[in-house]
Amino acid sequence: MSHNKAEIIKAILTNNTLSEEKKSEIIAEIIEEFQKTYPDLQYHATKADVKEVELKLTKEIENIRFEIEQVKKDVKLEIEQVRKEIKEIEAKLTQNIKEVEAKLTQNIKEVEAKLIQNIKEIEAKLTQNIKEVEAKLTKDIKELDLKFTKETKNLDLKIKDTKFSMLKWMFVFWATQMGAILVIIYKLLHS
- The string of pLDDT tens digits covering residues 98-142 is 999 999 999 999 999 999 999 999 999 999 999 999 999 999 999
Q: Give the long-range contacts of residues 12-19, CB within 8 A, separation 24 or more.
A: none
Residue 173 in this model has a pLDDT that exceeds 50: yes
pLDDT at position 1 is 47
CA atoms within 13 A on the CB side of 109: 5
pLDDT at 110: 92
Q: Cα–Cα distance between 145 and 167 in angstroms, integer?
A: 32
Give the tens place of pLDDT for each residue, 16-58: 787 878 777 887 787 777 777 766 666 665 677 677 777 878 8
Residue 3 pLDDT > 60, yes or no?
no
Over the stretch 70-83, which tens digit does the pLDDT of each residue have?
Answer: 998 989 999 999 99
